[in-house]
Structure 1
Amino acid sequence: MNIKHLLATCLAATAFFTACKDSPNTTDPDPIDQMGSLYSVWATTEKGSYILTTSSLMKDTLLSPKDNKGIDITSHMPAAFYAIYAYNHHGKFYLSNDGKRFSQFEVINGSQWKETNSLSFANPFFMGKVLDNISTAEELVLTKTAGTTNKEKNVLEQPIYYMNTRDMSINKTLNVEIPMIKYTPKQANGENDDPYIVPTSMTVRGDKLFVGHKYRSHITKLDIIDTAYVYVCDYPSLANGKIIKDPRGGFTAGHWEINKTTFLDDNNDLYVMTRRTNSSSYGLLRIKNGETSFDPNYFFDLKDYNVFKNSSSLIQKLGAGKAYISPYVLDPANKKVIADLRILIGGGESRTTMNFMENGKLYDVFKTDESKWYVFEYNPETNTVKRGAQIDPGVNTVYHVNKLR
């Protein structure tokens, strides 16, 4: 299905906006009920980074950092760049800061920003992948951005930390050893280019761990091999490891920060996103439930769709066989693109690094073609969207939309 066909099927959704006002009612008070729900939007401006809170994302209001209405977190996030190394877990924020301090923050009384715990590692630490399907409210399972290359063993040693969210102590650490392939390309000047591994995903499914990874040039820092590599081993013993590979879609997409480029569907089939080097040609490979090899009969080519063009969002499982890979809603098992949310909302782009699901509905933030920022609610059941709160037009980027409680 191409964009024109999507447009034809989505025109009905525009009726949702005929009753919407161009500007929100900014005079409505938005008191924070200390026992009620609380949501946040993490936005940046020319001056810094801010957490904007609200009791309802779908309220007709304007969320703005002006007049001290936003929580200024600039001093804790010295550059907006670090938002890709931050995560919200059960209402608490985990920030890598400048690599010297890993912190837990909470929003207190809807308007105060408090560091509740911190953890210092022996070496610089930036938050990598979060293994969300095995994390709990009490334990956050995560990695750091890059492991250590052990040249004697010819492996990448990639740690997995099991962190107690109460005090940020480390309950245990597993160290995955990903074998390096024998590949030493030469540069034009004849210099050996010793490639290095970048972990792109980590997924636990039952008693198996799947680690997607790619190879980058040590000299140019660019992706160099158009083959998807996944290291598979027993979990949690990490025994019986092997590498599986597939060249049909390019390398395993993503990088070492928190964006998630794999997902498990309702059948527990594992989907792995791929990308071609030097292009925006994406695809999906599949490892069926109970298998530890790529499905030779499945490849979903997404070369006509610019997924993740301006976004590093986490892939969201929507249920009923659907998944959200910004800005598209897919039926991956049947290789179908169901909707382009940009068309449903009338244009625009999403640039978030975190969105979330609540009561079967997706919440994400888009900047429209009129350069206005809004929260949008997508209902997978009806394939429709509703426009919620507007975000101050002076923001540069919206990184997170989260539920805090």
Structure 2
Amino acid sequence: MKHNRILACGALALALLASCKDSPDVPETVEKISTEYSVWVTSATGSYLLTTDNLMKDTLLTPVGNKGIDLSAYLPAAFYAVYAYNHEGKFYVSNNGTRFSQLEIQNNATLKETDNYAFPSNFFLGKVLKDVSTKDELVMTKTAGTFNEAKNVLEQPIYFMNLKDMTLNKTLNVDIPFLKYAPLKPDKTPYTNPYMVPTSITVRGNKLFVGHKYRGTDVSGSMDISDTTYVYVCDYPDLTNGKMLKDARGGFAAGHWEVQTLTFMDDNNDLYIVTKNRIASTYGLIRIKSGETEIDKDYFFDLKDYNVFKNSTAQVQKLGNGKAYLSPYVVDPANKKVIADLRILVGGGESKTTMNFMENGKLYDVFKTDASKWFVFEYDPATNSVKRGAEIDPGITHVYHVNKLK
């Protein structure tokens, strides 16, 4: 028989919205949590954080009946989970356009804002540079920088956030050159207000790689307008000796400005960047080999025959032993092979997360089955097999995060 394993909801709106950086609502002590994992879900009634001590236990996770931690009074919109990141068991969340909050589960029952930082101007959490972040410092960007017309560059800030007291240790600005020509619509007229969006920021050794794309507006609204992969590379951390890399084979550097990333490094330290054809909405992989700063012209992995990221642009994961997860597929990028379709292994369904995660060499993701049931699944790359874990209430509409809390 299934048993509910959910934390009770806290009175978040009054406790959290009343706090600010000048007088934060910081408890004197923080209770250690005994729960191990969380699943961030949305439903017709709001956004919820569901927890469990074992993702693979035969249990039902549900927000029904005021169960779970209700985030909907705190976040302006459910989709703002794409501007949230879990680091060392704490959640770091953008919520009102300037306020950056540190949230922590206490006493297995409530979620508390333990600190925050108020940016002086617009801020929503963009990419996290996980390879250079540490336990006590989160290296991150915001969703988009500032266009400097005089220099014709996007000034993209990189923030080094001290997580002990939520202050900035330092801020760097990388200047990404803008196109020297106006992108044109199919009728050869310019798009309205074209702008640049960073889609990935990766540090490899002493080099910084920034994948980006262009967007613009016509009568149908805002859209991707670039057909070329652009990657800006420069020295790190001094951000000098920059140059632009271009490749026209796969479309633009895929993804958007939210926290999930579509790049990864393999066991050889080769950097792979997902590309997207804006017309056909198909994907591919380009490669920058270890120790090099040019796109490998002899390598392109065309994934046009596969429904990569069919339902959500999920976090790409390096699985090890030459494998990577590009939802819902397991691929061998170096040899340009698709090893497995997890939809088949789970018995039918679609991957539905934005942020999945790895633990002890195994991948944890959530699939909505063909029978419209939501389950956590564990994938073992060593055996190419899956196990079904906790079920999630069928009334939810999306799973944004699957996170480890400690």
Distance 1:181 1:65, change over 3 A: same
Residue 228 of structure 1 deviates from its aligned partner by 0.3
Task: Give 1:50's aligned residue.
Answer: 48
- Shift of residue 260, structure 1, vs aligned partner: 0.4
Spell out the pairing of 1:80-95 with structure 2 (5 A cutoff): 80-95=78-93
Partner residue of 1:70? 68
Greater shift in the superposed pair: 191-200 or 100-109: 191-200
Q: CA deviation at 1:108?
A: 1.1
CA distances 1:322-377 after superposition (whole Å, capped 9, x unpaired): 11111111111111111111000011111211111111111111111111010000
Q: Report deviation, 1:30.
A: 8.1
Q: Is the 8 A contact 1:184 1:194 kept in 2?
A: no
**Contact 1:160–1:174 at 8 Å: present in 2 too?**
yes
1:369-397 CA distances to partner (integer Å, 9 max, x unpaired)?
Answer: 11101000000000000000000111111
The aligned counterpart of 1:318 is 319
User: What displacement does 1:77 show?
Assistant: 1.5
Alpha-carbon shift at residue 66 of structure 1 (Å): 2.1
After TM superposition, give the deviation of residue 31 of structure 1 in Å.
Answer: 9.8
1:298 maps to 299
Q: Residues 53 and 111 of structure 1 are in contact (CA less than 8 Å); yes or no, is this contact kept in structure 2?
A: no
1:1-400 mapped onto 2 (5 Å cutoff):
25-27=1-3, 36=34, 38-186=36-184, 188=187, 190=189, 193-219=192-218, 220-400=221-401
Task: Specify the SS of the correspondent of 1:65.
Answer: coil
Partner SS for 1:222: strand
The 1:76–1:304 alpha-carbon spacing in structure 2 relative to 1, beyond 3 Å, is same
Q: 1:275 to 1:104 in 2, by over 3 A?
A: same
* Distance in 1 of aligned mates of 2:382 and 2:117: 42
Distance in 1 between the 2:394 and 2:206 partners? 47
The answer to whether the 8 Å contact 2:34/2:108 transfers is no
TM-score by length of 2: 0.90
Cα distance, 1:186–1:318 mapped onto 2, change above 3 Å? closer
Name whichever of 136-145 and 272-281 sits farther off.
272-281
**SS of residue matched to 2:48:** strand
Which runs of no fewer than 5 residues in structure 2 stay unpaired? 9-30
1:171–1:217 Cα change, 3 Å: same
Q: Is the 8 A contact 1:183 1:195 kept in 2?
A: no
Aligned mates of 1:336, 1:245 — CA distance in 2 = 25
Contact kept, 8 Å, 2:182 with 2:190, in 1: the verdict is no
Q: Cα gap change, 1:339/1:52 in structure 2, threshold over 3 Å: closer, same or farther?
A: same
Please tell me the residue identity of whatever aligns with 1:158: Q
Alpha-carbon distance, 1:311 to partner:
1.4
Report the alpha carbon displacement of residue 189 of structure 1 after superposing the two structures with TM: 9.1
Of the structure 1 ranges 203-212 and 69-78, higher mean CA displacement relative to structure 2 is found in 69-78
Equivalent-residue separation in structure 2 for 1:101 and 1:28 (angstroms) = 34
Gap regions ≥5 residues in structure 1: 1-24
SS of residue paired to 1:342: helix
Whether contact under 8 Å (1:195, 1:215) holds in the other structure is yes
CA pair 287-36 structure 1, distance change in 2 beyond 3 A? same
How far apart are 1:312 and its partner, in Å? 2.2
Give the 3-state SS of the residue equivalent to 2:348 in structure 1: coil
* Alpha-carbon distance between aligned partners in 1 of 2:231 and 2:348, rounded to the nearest angstrom: 36
Sort the Cα spacing of 1:276 and 1:136 in 2 relative to 1 into closer, same or farther, 3 A.
Answer: same
Q: Deviations over 1:127-166 (max 9, x none)?
A: 1001111111111111000000000000000000010111
CA contact (8 A) 1:280 1:306 kept: no
> 1:68, CA displacement in angstroms?
3.2
Cα contact 1:185–1:194 (8 A) shared by 2:
no
* Cα distance in structure 1, aligned partners of 2:265 and 2:189: 43
Q: Which amino acid is 1:57 matched to?
A: L
Query: TM-score scaled by structure 1?
Result: 0.90
Write 1 or 2 for the structure with the bigger share of strand: 2
Distance in 2, matches of 1:98 and 1:240, equals 36
Amino acid at match of 2:140: L
8 A contact 1:186–1:193 mirrored in 2: no
Instruction: Give the Cα separation in 2 of the matches to 1:174 and 1:71.
Output: 36
Residue 371 of structure 2 aligns to a residue whose secondary structure is coil
* Structure 1 stretch displaced more, 348-357 or 370-379: 348-357
C-alpha distance in structure 1 between counterparts of 2:177 and 2:206, whole Å? 20
Q: Measure the CA separation in 1 of the matches of 2:34 and 2:193.
A: 54
- 2:345 maps to amino acid: L
AA aligned opposite 1:385 = V
Post-superposition offset of 1:193: 4.1
Aligned positions, number:
381
Following superposition, the deviation at residue 185 of structure 1 comes to 3.8
Distance 2:263 2:184 in 1: 32
User: Residues of 2 paired with 1:273 and 1:191: CA distance?
Assistant: 27
Report the AA paired with residue 124 of structure 2: F
